[in-house]
Amino acid sequence: MRARHRAALFATSTMTGFGIASWITRTPAVRDELGASIETMGLVLLGLSVGSMIGILGAGALVRRIGTRPLVLVGGALPVVGMLLVALLAPAHLTAGVWVGLWCIGFGCGAAEIGLNVEAAAVERRLGRPVVPVLHACFSLGTVVGGAAGIGLTALRTPVTAHLLTATVVMAGLAVYAAANLRPEHRVDPADPVGTTAPAPRLRSVLTVQVLLIGVITLAMAFAEGAASDWLPLLITTGHDAPEVTGSLVFTGFALAMLVGRSAGTPLVARFGRAPVIRACAVIGTLGVLLVVTAATPVVTAVGAAVWGLGIALGFPLAISAAGDHPTDGDRRVSVVATAGYVAFLAGPPLLGFLGEHLGLQAAMLVPAGLLVVSACIASATRTARSGQRSRLPG
């Protein structure tokens, strides 16, 4: 039963990645359908951000009140609805309708991702082996499959509606499978379903220096991932005057690099420890971003994007694992840290869109590079006693 439950979590994460990649690979086409500028596209992406932040910021309290299962179910249903709206309304030139569709995708994914990470961390503690990195590897797998499909369909000049409707059907199938197999480890206490007996200061006590530093690392890694996910195709098409399919190919290379990093990273953590791996990830990710910023050709940009993806692949899931590595407050710590990460993942791209409109997209990418440098400097916050690296920080 637990194997089916893990498979349900992985299916939801794969569905999310597939849906986002399907949207991203057609971002230039949607922009053309809407006749939008870079700044206007930043405002359209704000729908994704607003929905996500509402879902994310409310998810921590909802986990304690209703458990993780309802959040994961919402995360399966709403992105399907949102993708359907985008598929039908973008060709109709309804910018507001696309915004609403992205809001649905954002709200569903935001609520689900908190629930998924809390649940995966609980399963990980129970089993004593990595689950969170595998969860995020499934997201990357979804982005690779969705990106590859996007490349092929873009090259075949498939209309946006046909492409995104097909993606909607695939997402719906994964969501139904997940809904039928969820058996949460994290359950609400029947004697205290709304957490009324929990002491009020407890949440504040979770916010130790260590948790705050882990939150900064998560924010930096998620910001860098969100920046690449939303802007790489447009960096290629606008910065190098490359065709749309080239932008999709570069994004898919980035996603594939993340999949490789997350799939192969567990042995590295076992050998070197969590903190050194996160530090190395941040340094490699920074180099990748700088390659993209300084690239003079699409080929160099593609190489930089792959290095970028490989570098940040393990940062987010390892930070989540570090937050959950606590005997009593793991769920609350994961909720706090994941919230910081997902807010950065989805609020960052519109900010970069504003900066890109005035400074250029290449210059705007220096922001995630700077955040990755910060995360490299504070990676020691993720040390654990199990790896022989006991943290001196509180918590």
**What tens-digit pLDDT sequence spans the chain (395 residues)?**
578 888 899 999 999 889 988 887 787 788 888 877 767 777 887 788 788 778 877 776 777 777 778 888 888 899 999 999 999 988 887 888 889 999 999 888 878 888 888 888 778 777 777 788 888 889 888 988 988 898 888 888 888 899 999 999 999 999 999 988 887 655 544 444 434 344 444 555 677 888 899 999 999 998 998 888 778 877 787 777 777 778 778 888 888 898 888 888 778 887 888 899 999 999 999 999 999 888 888 888 889 999 999 999 998 888 888 887 776 676 778 878 877 887 787 677 778 878 877 787 778 889 999 999 999 999 999 876 443 333 333 33
Q: What are phi and psi of 283, to 5 degrees?
A: -65, -45
HEC sequence for 260-295 = HHHHHHHHHHHHHCHHHHHHHHHHHHHHHHHHHHHC
Q: Domains along the chain? A: 2-188+201-382 (1.20.1250.20)
Distance CA 150, CA 143 (A): 10
Distance CA 306, CA 252 (A): 9
Q: How many angstroms separate the Cα of 247 from the Cα of each of 161, 193, 283, 367?
A: 19, 48, 25, 21
**Cβ-contact 249, 343 below 8 angstroms:** no
pTM: predicted TM-score of the whole model, two decimal places: 0.72
Distance CA 238, CA 216 (A): 31
